[in-house]
Structure 1
Amino acid sequence: MRQYSGICWWCIDGLRRLMSGIVIVLFCVMMGAVLLQVGSRYLMDYTTAWATELSTYCQVWLVLLGAGVAMARNQHMAIDFLPAMLSLRYARIASVLVACVTMGFLAAMAYGSIPLIRLGVHQVSPAMGVPLWAVYGCLPLGAFYIALELVVSVARRWDEPFAQIDAQAEDAS
């Protein structure tokens, strides 16, 4: 496995650690909010609307940032049986084409989130009073992070675009 070098790779590794930490915190907060909400409903016959709202917002952020973490670890499902049989030249072309289509989707998602963010500047969530731009902000941020990891993945796998990469072995290096 190629060792990273230079300030760029150092920044990417730091960003990966930060995003992984944020995903872990989001998951813990989401689980705590769900347990609190279920416990308060069934043990005290009291509904905590803010806990439901908090867990929902954490889940949305978790999905979008977690998709980037999964991209960094090569954990997304892919059907690569046919591309793996291609020659190196055509495998690279296929890899770039798949990345371009994915980037198009991510760009559309980020662009489409702009009206939501603008609307969210003037709105707050009903139970917690959180400005909704903070909730909708996960869309462009998640799209950017997934796109960054996609570019890194294509560059990292340039010599063998559809070869299997062991995520645990890569984390150790």
Structure 2
Amino acid sequence: MNTYIRIIDGINNGVKSIVSVMLAILAVLVVLQVMTRFVINVPLAWTEEIARYLMIYIVFLGSGLAMRHNQHIAIDFLLDVIPHKNKARLQTIILSICAVFCLVLAYYGAQLTLIVVDQSTPTLQYSMAWAYAAIPLGALLMLLNIVALLLKPNKVEDSVDRIVGENK
């Protein structure tokens, strides 16, 4: 169990580095696009397309990272009204439902990725599968992090206490 947690945390550190680099590249591309479009008056179409796909990957990979630290937006009304001893159980049920959703998202995301393999991006003419692959990758990363949260119950209880503590 601890080995799995260490592996997931290692994967998350790698993903965090990748997402950070993607965000830096995205910022440079957007500045370049604005400069070429409004200052030089010769827009570069490829910067807009790459920026779009970078943003997609940042969102899907970042959502997996957010799952590990229970940082997704949540409606925590039930956590406020149920007794403290049941909060960890409710959090486990919520995480289990999220795991099922991630499985479904990964499955259908992979199917969609395979469907669009023969389609090309408008400007760069790469396979659209590269853009759509963010869906199953992000869903699998979220699923791995959900399993890590479910395996380490004190991590779930700490996150429940953090959520409930923030609302008081």
Q: TM-score, normalised by structure 2?
A: 0.83
Structure 2 equivalent of residue 111 of structure 1 = 107
- Aligned-pair identity in percent equals 28
Aligned equivalents of 2:152, 2:23: Cα separation in 1: 29
Aligned equivalents of 1:72 and 1:96: distance in 2? Answer: 14
Equivalent residue of 1:122, what SS? coil
**Other-structure match for 1:152:** 148
Question: How many Å separate the matches in 1 of 2:66 and 2:82?
Answer: 25
Aligned counterparts of 2:5 and 2:148: Cα–Cα separation in 1: 9
Residue from 50, 54, 65 that aligns with 1:69? 65
Secondary structure of the corresponding residue to residue 162 of structure 2: coil
Contact in 2 for aligned 1:123/1:131 (Cα 8 Å): yes
Q: Contact (CA 8 Å) 2:4, 2:148: kept in 1 or not?
A: no
What displacement does 1:63 show? 0.3
CA shift at 1:117, angstroms?
Answer: 1.2
Which structure 1 residue ranges, 4+ long, deviate > 6 Å from structure 2?
none
1:83 correspondence with 2:79: yes
Question: Where do 5+ consecutive residues of structure 2 fail to align?
Answer: 164-168
8 Å contact from structure 1 (residues 84, 163) kept in 2 = no
- In the alignment, is the contact (CA less than 8 A) between 2:110 and 2:135 conserved in 1? no
Corresponding position of 2:166:
none
Return the offset for 1:129.
2.0
TM-score of the superposition, structure 1-length normalised? 0.81
Unaligned runs of 5+ in 1: 166-173
Instruction: Specify the SS of the correspondent of 1:164.
Output: helix
- Tell me which residue corresponds to 1:32: 28
Structure 1 or 2: more helix by fraction: 2
The 3 A distance-change label for structure 1 pair 51 and 145 is same
2:9 is aligned to 13
1:169 aligns to what? none
Question: Aligned residue pairs: how many?
Answer: 161
Please list the CA deviations of residues 128-164 of structure 1 after superposition, one character each: whole Å capped at 9, or x if unmatched: 1222111111111100101111222233344726211
Partner of 2:160, secondary structure, is: coil
Q: Distance in 2 between matches of 1:20 and 1:132?
A: 24
Contact conserved, 2:63 with 2:142, CA < 8 A, in 1? yes
Q: Matches of 1:6 and 1:62 in 2, distance apart? A: 28
In the TM superposition, residue 87 of structure 1 has moved relative to its aligned partner by: 4.2
C-alpha RMSD of matched pairs (Å): 2.2
**Given the alignment of the two structures, is residue 134 of structure 1 paired with residue 130 of structure 2, yes or no?**
yes
Other structure's SS at 1:110 match = helix
